Chains A and B, each alone.
Chain A
Amino acid sequence: MFEFFFKYSLQDYARSDLVFTAEWPAWLLLLIATIAVAGLSAVLWRHRGGATTRQLLAVWTLQLLMLALVSVLLLQPALKTEQLKPGENTVALVVDNSGSMAYGERLRRFDVALESLATAIPSDSTGLTAQHYTISDVAEPVETFTGAEPVGTSTSIADSLIDIIDSARSQSLAAVILASDGIDTAGGISANQLADVAAFGVPVHTIGVGRDRIPEDLELAQLVAPVKALPGSTVTARVAIRHDREGEARVRVYDGDELLATEAVQLPANTTTTTAKVNLDLRDAGYHRLQFSVNGVDAEPELRNNVRSTLVKVEEQQFRVLYFEGEPRWEYKFMRRAMDPDGDIRLVSLLRVSPNKFYRQGLESAEQLEAGFPATRDELFAYDALIIGSVEAATLSDEQQQIIGDFVSERGGSLLMLAGPNGLGNGGWGQSAIADLLPSRLPPSSVDSFVRTKAAVQLTPQGADTEMLRLAATVEENRAVWASLPEVADYQATGNMKPAAMTLLNVVTETGSQPLLITQPYGRGHVYVLASGGTWRWQMSSPLEDQSHETFWRQFMRALVASAPPGISLSANGSQGATEVQLRAEFRDDAFRPVDGIRVSAVVSHEDGDTYTLDLLPSQDDAAVHVADAPLGETGTWYVEAIAERDGEAIHVARTSVYSESGQAEYFNIRRNSALLRRLSDATGGQYFEPGDLGALPDLLRYSNAGITEQILRPVWDAPALFLLLFIVKFGEWLLRRRWRTI
């Protein structure tokens, strides 16, 4: 309709500028307009007859409008439009030929993509030359798509597009048309990558093939498990199950042939990804390749995405915890008793037994802590966690308090503050140099916030979800154990919580519930406040065979030390199924300052013996860190050894290992990611299309801002709408005059 009255589409008007092509001088136009208005007014006044002023004014306005319309026609209006110059530009037709494009029902995604691209640019109307590309892990130019098959083992859309646009710029690239399922196994498209693609100024139009939801498929979308564990410890792995319908799934974990654990997981209808925790007891030292699987459903199109594997190294490692206590008390005794059998964590304690004597326990040497609480970074940073009990802040110097702050923020150590007559607020810690670290604003020392009255403990929802507070195998059993624990002997007010703090335990007092165990991250480390010195009642008031007290402290201590990074470490991280990982080696001295002047290289060895070396480069973010991307070409266990050398001599070595499922990535995330494709089009000025609805694409291509364009003028003076308006004005005047009987 619009096009009938105005000759061209609304989009044409939107893309064009309206110009007047008659080259009349402005003074002449002004003169003619003045004479016309004056003449019209004079003639009308002379022949006014018996007409009223209002009637005269109406007729005058309509005649003036007619004059204006005629003037517009005489000025010859036209649309000025920039559009691609036929025969001068190219368009890149890109098809995703990664493995996931082989999925489909009647037709494969790949075939739908080819069909869509074939109809995308009718060559007779656009005058564009097509360049053909396939993309998976890299982009490849091809003569035609004939013979191409979806066999790529990974997909990196952003990097591939950057390669295509960069290489095709010399050929006046007007647009890119990408037909894909949007599955990017390189971890998606980052904001930086999106900005890089958009910076070329070439619109990327996307055609999304496949289905966003596949109800008949279950997928083990993610597996997160620790890479290291202590012998005999319980580790928690988190799995994410992708599903498009509700039901129940069962996760099984195998260590070789041994079934380690099974976990039933309810899959709700209102979400597409459900996460679950699986607890695993790893007894023996050595490498454990754990295979997680989720049971398949009927007619599942891809069973390979139901299984993931990871590698956990179980090894002896001793952590150190320093416990600084100001008075002998039962909490001290029973904490030590709980920790003494734990060969992985050495609890070193410094206890003030009299005003003039400190008693030391758990020592590694007679000299350890001989001079009292550590006074240097080196000395304190040798520990992984620090516990401060019922002792006044003033016992430590400002420098020692500052070192505690550095211990948490720079060393990444954990700090646990305990309640007591001289602990927390009573001890003046709320006004100390470490007050900023604490997860709450402690009451002032002038207020006695310590209460020596028994009180029950409650697990909060966050606490129930925390591994450190797990005293039983299942969530329900854990809640039951916590509910049955004897009361703690005392408690203390923690003050107002800080914004980042989290409450893991509450204590039920006569006046209501208040926080008992709170935590917050600070810098590289974590800070906890346990507002009681009376968990020892869990030991003395429970049957002898009850291990709740021991388990609590061992789990808690493990959590404290596990989050403290070692000075020398090596990690290998990458998306699951990816063909390479990022190596990150960190070398710090005893004071946790970066080791200077080193060159770092890595030896990467496959379990079958294939070995190569590569150099790691200093990270721009952290002087202690060196990074490199390490390709893992084959599935299996890879062992990595990073060597720090100074003057040709190896001074530090860090080791890690990783299990690679190289080439498996395309079997995961098989659902179409149309959101990624839309984001890509939006950022580059392109448009997203469904395969069956490509009608607007040729027009979009014609007016691309990229490539070589030309200017065209299209007259609109002869648009029917203008003549219709002329008729309406004149007919309206005739009707009015007839009604007023002035004709």
Chain B
Amino acid sequence: MPEFARKIRIPAIVVLLIAATVSMGQSDDGFGPTSRSATRESEGEFHFVRLAYSSNRFASRGGRRQAWQTDWPDAEQHFLRGVNRLTTVKAAENGRVLIPLDADIFDYPWIYAVEVGHWYLNHQEATRMRDYLLRGGFLMVDDFHGTWEWTSFKASMDKVFPDRPIVDIPQDDEAFHVLYDLDHRIQIPSRMFIYSGQTWERDGVTPHWRGIYDDDGRLMVAINFNMDIGDAWEHADWPDYPENMTALAYRFGINYVIYAMTH
């Protein structure tokens, strides 16, 4: 294989995969009612937007699905029902999927990214995400574990905010109190915990609630490291998944949503 072809092989595959998955999101082909062409303006004030990012070269999911699709669409569908039932937030019933460079991203000031240990943001995407967050957008990242995935996540996150530190969210931060007082936090595992009895993955034994703040002390990025809140939402209706963990996952999610809508 020529040198040039070898150089562009991986990016080309990534682009094709992204294009394919986004087009799946745009079509009504069995992936649920998350079509971006839906009449989004008439559904609700809050929209659960899932970030369709490019995966890095080490992502190996197998099958059709990309890393960003993890738990989709059950996680948000379950979660949004909880939001509408437990709060006064008027949430659209179904989630949406947007790529970082979609101009419509600015119409949705709350966005969720899963499996960010496998994400890859190029310079243009990182700039877009920085702009989005500094204008007032909010990013919740979830479901990544261990040293290697942290390093991978941080590589792209550092492109977004090269000069802003990632810090532990203090106990007294409003993100933990805006609706629910989340003083007693436990590690929320993936469903594999049911089989293995192990709440952690890889070397991510200790859960961390971390974040990135803006210049006025407002949380812009909520980083749920060494836990899998999305799985707890997705399997909320699965009898074997512990109810207390699902409940706590709902509470984290709701607090992030309300925090994002108030700060």
Bound together, the chains give a CA A539 to CA B263 distance in angstroms of 14
Q: How far is the CB of B24 from chain A (nearest CB, A)?
A: 27
Bound together, the chains give a CA A536 to CA B109 distance in angstroms of 10
Bound together, the chains give a CA A421 to CA B92 distance in angstroms of 13
Do A333 and B263 have beta carbons less than 8 Å apart?
A: yes
Interface residues of B in 106-128 (CB under 8 A from A): 106-107, 109
Bound together, the chains give a CA A536 to CA B138 distance in angstroms of 14
Q: Is B243 an interface residue (CB 8 A)?
A: no
Q: Is A340 an interface residue (CB 8 A)?
A: yes
- B137 proximity list for chain A (CB < 8 A): 540
Bound together, the chains give a CA A454 to CA B45 distance in angstroms of 13
- A333 proximity list for chain B (CB < 8 A): 109, 136, 260-263
Do A540 and B88 have beta carbons less than 8 Å apart?
A: no
Q: Is A631 an interface residue (CB 8 A)?
A: no
Bound together, the chains give a CA A333 to CA B107 distance in angstroms of 14
A327: nearest residue on chain B (CB-CB)? B88
CB within 8 A of B89: which of A328, A334, A337, A489? Answer: A328
Q: Is B29 an interface residue (CB 8 A)?
A: no
Q: Given A354-B87, A452-B42, A540–B179 Cβ distance below 8 Å? A: no
Q: Given A333-B263, A544-B131, A328–B106 Cβ distance below 8 Å? A: no
CB within 8 A of B258: which of A328, A337, A355? Answer: A328
Q: How far is the CB of B219 from chain A (nearest CB, A)?
A: 12
Q: Is A612 an interface residue (CB 8 A)?
A: no
Do A540 and B41 have beta carbons less than 8 Å apart?
A: no
CB within 8 A of B109: which of A355, A452, A540? Answer: A540
- A352 proximity list for chain B (CB < 8 A): 88
Bound together, the chains give a CA A81 to CA B88 distance in angstroms of 91
- A94 proximity list for chain B (CB < 8 A): none
Do A544 and B135 have beta carbons less than 8 Å apart?
A: yes
Do A329 and B135 have beta carbons less than 8 Å apart?
A: no
Chain A, residues 337-357, CB within 8 Å of chain B (1/0): the string is: 100110000000001111101
For the complex of A and B, 5 pairs with smallest distance between CB atoms: A328-B261, A327-B88, A540-B106, A329-B45, A354-B87
Q: How far is the CB of B132 from chain A (nearest CB, A)?
A: 8
Q: Is A361 an interface residue (CB 8 A)?
A: yes
Bound together, the chains give a CA A489 to CA B260 distance in angstroms of 18
Q: Which of A326, A330, A340, A544 has most chain B Cβ within 10 Å?
A: A330
A-B contacts, 25 of them at CB < 8 A, read: A327-B45, A327-B90, A328-B46, A328-B87, A328-B261, A329-B45, A329-B89, A329-B261, A332-B261, A334-B136, A341-B216, A353-B87, A353-B89, A353-B262, A354-B86, A354-B88, A489-B41, A536-B109, A539-B136, A540-B106, A540-B107, A540-B109, A541-B107, A542-B135, A544-B131
Bound together, the chains give a CA A453 to CA B42 distance in angstroms of 7
Q: Given A541-B106, A544-B134, A336–B262 Cβ distance below 8 Å? A: yes
Report whether over half of chain B's contact residues are helix, strand or loop; otherwise say mixed.
loop
Q: How far is the CB of B36 from chain A (nearest CB, A)?
A: 16
Known: A329-B45, A333-B260. 12 other contacts (CB 8 A): A327-B90, A328-B262, A333-B109, A333-B262, A340-B216, A353-B89, A353-B179, A353-B258, A359-B262, A453-B42, A454-B41, A542-B135
Range, interface on chain B: 20 to 34
Q: Is A626 an interface residue (CB 8 A)?
A: no
Interface residues of B in 201-253 (CB under 8 A from A): 216, 218
- B136 proximity list for chain A (CB < 8 A): 333-334, 337, 536, 539-540
Do A353 and B178 have beta carbons less than 8 Å apart?
A: yes
- A327 proximity list for chain B (CB < 8 A): 45, 88-90
Interface size on A, residues (CB 8 A): 32
Bound together, the chains give a CA A329 to CA B125 distance in angstroms of 27
Bound together, the chains give a CA A330 to CA B87 distance in angstroms of 15
Chain A, residues 314-328, CB within 8 Å of chain B (1/0): the string is: 000000000000111
Q: Is A537 an interface residue (CB 8 A)?
A: yes
Q: How far is the CB of B80 from chain A (nearest CB, A)?
A: 14
Do A452 and B107 have beta carbons less than 8 Å apart?
A: no
Do A359 and B179 have beta carbons less than 8 Å apart?
A: yes
Q: How far is the CB of B215 from chain A (nearest CB, A)?
A: 10
Do B88 and A355 have beta carbons less than 8 Å apart?
A: yes
Q: How far is the CB of A547 from chain B (nearest CB, A)?
A: 12
Q: Given A353-B179, A354-B86, A330–B258 Cβ distance below 8 Å? A: no
Q: How far is the CB of B238 from chain A (nearest CB, A)?
A: 26
Bound together, the chains give a CA A454 to CA B41 distance in angstroms of 8
Interface residues of B in 21-50 (CB under 8 A from A): 41-46
Bound together, the chains give a CA A328 to CA B260 distance in angstroms of 9
Q: Which of B137, B257, B258 has most chain A Cβ within 10 Å?
A: B258
Bound together, the chains give a CA A700 to CA B257 distance in angstroms of 88
- B179 proximity list for chain A (CB < 8 A): 353-354, 357, 359
- B88 proximity list for chain A (CB < 8 A): 326-328, 352-355
Q: Which of B43, B137, B261, B263 has most chain A Cβ within 10 Å?
A: B261
Do A361 and B262 have beta carbons less than 8 Å apart?
A: yes
Interface residues of B in 155-184 (CB under 8 A from A): 178-179
Bound together, the chains give a CA A469 to CA B261 distance in angstroms of 25
Bound together, the chains give a CA A739 to CA B88 distance in angstroms of 113
Q: How far is the CB of A324 from chain B (nearest CB, A)?
A: 13
CB within 8 A of B90: which of A353, A421, A489? Answer: A421
B45: nearest residue on chain A (CB-CB)? A329
Q: Given A353-B87, A537-B107, A540-B109, A330–B261 Cβ distance below 8 Å? A: yes
Q: Given A328-B89, A539-B135, A359–B258 Cβ distance below 8 Å? A: yes
- B87 proximity list for chain A (CB < 8 A): 328, 353-354
Q: How far is the CB of A278 from chain B (nearest CB, A)?
A: 34
- A539 proximity list for chain B (CB < 8 A): 135-136
Q: How far is the CB of A534 from chain B (nearest CB, A)?
A: 9
- B134 proximity list for chain A (CB < 8 A): 544
Bound together, the chains give a CA A540 to CA B138 distance in angstroms of 11
Bound together, the chains give a CA A328 to CA B131 distance in angstroms of 23
Q: How far is the CB of A582 from chain B (nearest CB, A)?
A: 46
- A542 proximity list for chain B (CB < 8 A): 135
Bound together, the chains give a CA A333 to CA B46 distance in angstroms of 12
Q: How far is the CB of B157 from chain A (nearest CB, A)?
A: 19
Q: Which of A327, A333, A340, A544 has most chain B Cβ within 10 Å?
A: A333
Do B263 and A336 have beta carbons less than 8 Å apart?
A: yes
Bound together, the chains give a CA A452 to CA B178 distance in angstroms of 26
Q: Which of A336, A354, A355 has most chain B Cβ within 10 Å?
A: A354
- A536 proximity list for chain B (CB < 8 A): 109, 136
Interface residues of A in 527-542 (CB under 8 A from B): 536-537, 539-542
- B44 proximity list for chain A (CB < 8 A): 452
B42: nearest residue on chain A (CB-CB)? A452
Bound together, the chains give a CA A359 to CA B174 distance in angstroms of 11
- A341 proximity list for chain B (CB < 8 A): 216
Bound together, the chains give a CA A489 to CA B179 distance in angstroms of 26
Bound together, the chains give a CA A337 to CA B44 distance in angstroms of 22
Q: How far is the CB of A439 from chain B (nearest CB, A)?
A: 26
Chain A, residues 659-694, CB within 8 Å of chain B (1/0): the string is: 000000000000000000000000000000000000
Chain A, residues 397-419, CB within 8 Å of chain B (1/0): the string is: 00000000000000000000000
- B46 proximity list for chain A (CB < 8 A): 328-329
Chain B, residues 41-67, CB within 8 Å of chain A (1/0): the string is: 111111000000000000000000000
